[in-house]
Structure 1
Amino acid sequence: MPTSRRKTAVPPPAPVPPAGPDLATKLQPAQQRATETYERLLEAAAQTLIEVGIERLSTNLVCERAGVSPPALYRYFPNKYALLHELGQRLMQRQNECVARWMSPEVIQAGVPALEQALAGLLLETYEVTRRTEGGVWIMRAMRAVPALQEVRLASHAAVTEAQTQLLVKALPGARRSELKLASRIVVELIYATVEMLFDESLKPKDVARIAAGMMASHLQRVMPGA
């Protein structure tokens, strides 16, 4: 008698995760008039974001505020997330430029009090840059709340972490690089979170910066060689 063969069950293919929204700008403006339209769209997006929030923001509302037709917007931005992506990158760039004005090997080598003062200054300036940026706090919230935009924040923080790690390695040649990198990454995230907190609660920025800087700077003693 022929033997029956048991069929082996074939597992169904794994579901393909849905692709995120396109974040790349379609076209970079080359002429002055196109540049003006491009910047007007971004300004309108920031203003609309303040008024209606992340969820209700739409390209139609942006076009209405900017006085631009939808086809003109779609020449540059495929969707509202591309607008937020560009706004996020610009804000991160402004925030990151504050770091070089406050942090240096000389500041670190000067000891905890000097580092504490520099960190407090850095935190306050980052807060002020965000406050002066049109829709700054809403842009920050979008980069944390919208999964497709989180990479802007994470990539920016990774770049700052690497730059600060190199600075610390230069200032503290005897310390472990892995420890310095971890400390740098945590400090970057703490500053970002503290700035967000200043927008969420009625606190005095200078008092918050003083306490936060003291907590972050105190760790320097633990990573210094021979500590």
Structure 2
Amino acid sequence: MKTDRKQKPSLSTKMQPAQQRAAETYERILEVAAQTLADVGIERLSTNMVCERASLTPPALYRYFPNKYALLSELGQRLMQRQNERIERWISPGLFDGTVADLERALEGLILDTYAATEQAVGGVWIMRAMRAVPVLQDVRLTSHAKVTKMQTQLLSQVLPDAPRAELELTCRIAVELIYATVEMLFDERQDTAAVARTVASMIASQLEQLRSRNEAGTRKRSRKAPARA
């Protein structure tokens, strides 16, 4: 039976380099792909163009990457890992012992740091756009966001143990998406970067403060119900 559904291109690398020379070729391919993407954009990027710029034959590239989408997938995973590594610099359990202003400053710093990490990466903004614009690559972005959401939900569950788990997870998921969308907007529009970061940070911090207040209320309620010790 024939089907109209097109087969999705593979995003997996064919093999991982085992020797130094192969590793250097692998990294060279990715470096050139990122620069080419920055130069020509998503639509014009091709494996032939990468091969030409990297002075490689197509078989040398196809040994590792079956198509341009596999290249973009690897670049996307690396960029998102670079972005995600910024989280631990700004968000920690001790942060929630402070004030709302402390939360706002940390979140503002995270947004600006994530923006800087993307800006400093070769082709960073185009890699980020590809993760949203190219349907086959969207799972790369969503998988990364789900991972961060899970980690941040676990953190919040430790510091806000009486807050509903589902509400913590929803807050974290929205915050992750909001920060990512904010960084995209800062590249797409001429805006006051610091002002945008402060505004978004204030919005997220406000929700976190509400969660903290409800958690404290739940803790007091549970304490009142606890049986007195003899």
Note the residue ranges of structure 2 that are not aligned, 5 or more in a row: 219-230
1:212-223 mapped onto 2 (5 Å cutoff): 212-223=200-211
Indicate whether 1:137 and 2:125 are aligned: yes
Indicate whether 1:74 and 2:62 are aligned: yes
Identity %: 64
Q: Which amino acid aligns with 1:213?
A: A
User: 1:24-81 CA distances to partner (integer Å, 9 max, x unpaired)?
Assistant: 1011111111111111111111111112111111000000111111110000000000
Which of 19, 41, 44 in structure 2 is aligned with 1:53? 41
Tell me, yes or no, if the aligned pair for 1:98 and 1:126 is still in contact at 8 Å. Answer: yes
User: Helix, strand or coil for the counterpart of 2:86?
Assistant: helix
TM-score (norm 2): 0.90
Task: Return the alpha-carbon distance in structure 1 between the equivalents of residues 64 and 163 of structure 2.
Answer: 47
Which of 145, 148, 152 in structure 1 is aligned with 2:140? 152
User: Helix, strand or coil for the counterpart of 1:55?
Assistant: coil
Which of 16, 23, 30 in structure 2 is aligned with 1:42? 30
Residue 204 (structure 1) shift: 2.4
How many corresponding residue pairs? 215
Tell me, yes or no, if the aligned pair for 1:109 and 1:172 is still in contact at 8 Å. Answer: no
1:1-227 mapped onto 2 (5 Å cutoff): 15=3, 17-224=5-212, 225=215, 226=217
Q: Answer with 29-38 or 122-131: which moved more.
A: 29-38
Tell me, yes or no, if the aligned pair for 1:198 and 1:205 is still in contact at 8 Å. Answer: yes
Note the residue ranges of structure 1 that are not aligned, 5 or more in a row: 1-12
User: 1:176-213 CA distances to partner (integer Å, 9 max, x unpaired)?
Assistant: 11001000000000000000011111222212111110
Root-mean-square deviation over aligned CA pairs: 1.4
Residue 15 (structure 1) shift: 4.3
Task: Return the alpha-carbon distance in structure 1 between the equivalents of residues 4 and 155 of structure 2.
Answer: 42
Task: Return the alpha-carbon distance in structure 2 between the equivalents of residues 14 and 113 of structure 1.
Answer: 60
Question: Which residue of the partner structure matches residue 226 of structure 2?
Answer: none
> Looking at CA atoms only, which structure, 1 or 2, has the larger radius of gyration?
1
User: Helix, strand or coil for the counterpart of 2:162?
Assistant: coil
Q: Answer with 184-193 or 111-120: which moved more.
A: 111-120
Residue 109 (structure 1) shift: 2.7
Q: Which amino acid aligns with 2:125?
A: V
Q: Which amino acid aligns with 2:35?
A: Q
Q: Which amino acid aligns with 2:206?
A: S
Segments of 4+ moved more than 4 angstroms: 13-16
